[in-house]
Amino acid sequence: MPHDYPPRPQQLQQLEGLQQRFAAALLDFEQIKPGLAMFNGNPAVVEDRLAIYRGNLSAIWGQSLGNAFPVIRQLVGDAFFEQIAREYGRLYPSQSGDLNQFGAEFADYLAQSGGVAAYPYFADVARLEWLAHRAYYAADAQVLALADLAPLATYGLEQLRLQLHPACYLHQSSWATAAIWSAHQPGSEQAYPGQLQADTYAIVSRPQWQVQVTEIGKAAFLALQALMKGRLLGEALEIALQEDAQFDIPQELSRCFLAGMFCGAIAVAPE
């Protein structure tokens, strides 16, 4: 019986070369003719079959990006979105077998694309949508309730180090991104913002398997940033009060816990 020996390095190189030529024929129209030499049969028939592959690939790009960026799709319209999805796919080929990761550079693409240069806020809207996309697929963890802190506060609440939930992110923009996002959610009654250039600070979270975006003030944002860096709750609140002397600690803590921001806490003995 014949033995199945592992492929030799030369064979692997040949296979890699064929794969690269096939990918080039799909992604670059100038590489179609050289790519045809890989196949037997009528070149016209082979080219038609490559076109089918290319069409399917474009459809996958459009569907994957549309799932992750539905607001951008609504803003630009279906036809133009399919066009920029094809361009994005050629410029930023997928580096993962998981298509949920395909849009990781989409905001950067929009920031550099001449096709949407008249809409500079698109890139930040896409950054917010990507965080919402990541939050949806993030790992699950038990959400910490505000009442859960009492038995943990051995040395007082200010000595707690809070752990952010894996489905929770912070978003900052100089555009009204959260208001734009909210206005485009299914069933939303929020009007599209009249003033697009506006500082935005927001929490992106998934408290009950549904992603939500919660707008917060700058003081709360700075405090949460500090918590993300491992600062104690007391230190974070001090940062917030330095930014805003009227910072309402009970109200802001309640807002954060209702958003499902935390999944754990550790009491740290004072030095």
Tell me, what's the pLDDT at 12?
61
What is the distance of C-alpha 197 from the center of its chain? Answer: 22
Q: Are residues 260 and 174 in the same domain?
A: yes
pLDDT in tens, 112-128: 999 999 999 999 999 99
Q: Which pTM was predicted?
A: 0.83
- Specify whether the CB–CB gap between 41 and 64 falls below 8 A: no
pLDDT in tens, 206-263: 987 899 999 999 999 999 999 999 999 999 999 999 999 999 999 999 999 999 999 9
pLDDT in tens, 184-220: 999 888 899 999 999 999 999 998 789 999 999 999 9
Q: Are residues 88 and 196 in the same domain?
A: no
Q: Report how far apart, in Å, the C-alpha atoms of 25 and of each of 51, 84, 92, 102, 251 are.
A: 10, 19, 16, 20, 58
Helix, strand or coil, per DSSP, at residue 204:
strand
Q: Are residues 112 and 168 in the same domain?
A: no
Q: Is residue 133 part of a domain?
A: no
Arithmetic mean of pLDDT over the chain: 87
Q: Are residues 171 and 249 in the same domain?
A: yes
Please, what is the end-to-end C-alpha distance for the chain in angstroms?
Answer: 73
Q: What is the DSSP letter of 152?
A: G
Which residue segment(s) compose the domain that 180 sits in? 139-267
Task: Judge whether residue 18 has pLDDT over 70.
Answer: no
Query: Structural domain tally of the chain?
Result: 2
Tell me, what's the pLDDT at 33?
63
Q: Are residues 22 and 60 in the same domain?
A: yes
Cα pseudo-dihedral 177, 67, 117, 80, rounded to 10: -140
Q: Is residue 134 part of a domain?
A: no
